[in-house]
Amino acid sequence: MFNQEFLNKLRNFMIFIIVYTLIFVLFFSTLSYTLPFVIGIIVSLVSLPIVKFLRYKLKFKESLSSLIAVILVYTIFILILIGIFTKITYETKQLISSIPKINTIIPYIQEYFDKLRLYYDNIDPSLVPKIEEQITKFAYSSLDITITIFNKLLSLVLKLPVMFLILFVSFLSSYFFSKDMLNFKSSILNIFTTEGKIKFTRFVHELTKSITNYFKAYSFIVTITFLETFIGFTILRINYALILSIVAAIFDVLPILGVGAVYLSVAIYHIIIKKYIVAIGLLILYLIVTIVRQILEPKLVSTSLGLHPVAVLAAIFIGIKAYGFVGMLYLIFLMVLYNILKKNKHIIGI
């Protein structure tokens, strides 16, 4: 029914899907065990240009150049984290200190409950059980959320020794990977024939370029969201602009929450305190951020991956609907790898 060329392509495509899925599942299912070494490989790759400069330009020894490069990368990363944490801590203290004391809140709470009691006394008796049921459900939901947050914080505190251990192992693995990285390529290439070396080098180059461009594209989008939010919140004189901007940038990556969770919450708060102009400004800013992201995301990501914008949108939507953020990564990297292999048909013949 079908010609042989189509059947061969279909067979190769199915083999590719199976192998890719097995590798993807294996990677994420073992990530809790291999995380320090994954971090070590990433840091060693980031520090590779520094290692090359120290070894070939300044004539440092191999071990010394790797040690300096890795320490420099970790130092820069830690200083950035410290700077962000310090600013967040400062704004959090301001936020806590600005919260009214409990004695000043009690009269307002009492007044609210007095009004609620009057309304409750005049309400239709047939509606009382339903209202009580809804209030009970809301109370239990609030309690569940509180318990969940507390458990998360407690588990984070308990995991601190493990986090330090991960950091220590990551540093050591980064050093050893960085030390051997320049020789690693030649060791891998030695298992191939002369023609195989050319094919493998080309494939790795295409793969590295595509993945790097993908992360650059999303980093650029998140940075734009952060800057738009920070500048807009500063202009609108929103308190704790830095914290809210960081949260908005983080939520921008998350498929369920999105940047709207921050903007709409802040806008509703300003409506409650009757600052309607600020609330309108926030909604306009949210509209601008959303439009900019919708324009940039398909264009930047599709250009960086060499894929059609519709294919990228389909991968993002279907992946998120199926398995969330991991599902989106699965489909996007599936298309990236398949696209690379199509460009290099001589590698596996698809």
Q: How far apart are CA 283 and CA 86, in angstroms?
A: 29
Per-residue pLDDT of 216-263, as tens digits, reads: 777 888 888 888 888 888 888 887 788 788 888 877 766 555 788 788
Q: How far apart are CA 74 and CA 168, in angstroms?
A: 11
Angle at 322 between CA 321 and CA 326, to 5 degrees: 100
Q: Which residue has the tokens 């920070």?
A: 230
Name the residue among 326, 65, 315, 10 with its Cα closest to residue 181: 65
Q: Annotate 132-156 with DSSP letters as a single string.
A: HHHHHHHHHHHHHHHHHHHHHHHHH
The tens-digit pLDDT sequence of the chain (350 residues) is: 667 776 777 787 888 888 888 988 898 888 888 888 888 888 888 888 888 888 888 888 888 888 898 899 999 988 888 877 777 677 666 655 655 554 555 555 556 556 666 665 655 566 556 666 666 666 556 556 666 666 665 665 555 566 777 788 888 888 888 887 767 766 677 777 777 777 777 777 777 777 777 777 778 888 888 888 888 888 888 877 887 888 888 777 665 557 887 888 888 888 887 888 888 988 898 898 888 877 877 777 666 666 666 777 777 778 877 777 788 888 888 887 777 777 666 554 44
Tell me which DSSP letter residue 43 carries: H
Q: How far apart are CA 272 and CA 279, in angstroms?
A: 10
Per-residue pLDDT of 64-118, as tens digits, reads: 888 898 899 999 988 888 877 777 677 666 655 655 554 555 555 556 556 666 6
pTM, rounded to two decimals: 0.56
Q: How far apart are CA 328 and CA 253, in angstroms?
A: 11
Q: How far apart are CA 333 and CA 25, in angstroms?
A: 13
The confidence score (pLDDT) of residue 345 equals 61
Name the residue among 175, 211, 183, 218 with its Cα closest to residue 74: 175
Confirm if 214 and 336 have CB atoms less than 8 A apart: yes
Confirm if 48 and 184 have CB atoms less than 8 A apart: no
The pair of structure tokens assigned to 85 is: 């944490």
Q: How far apart are CA 335 and CA 207, in angstroms?
A: 11
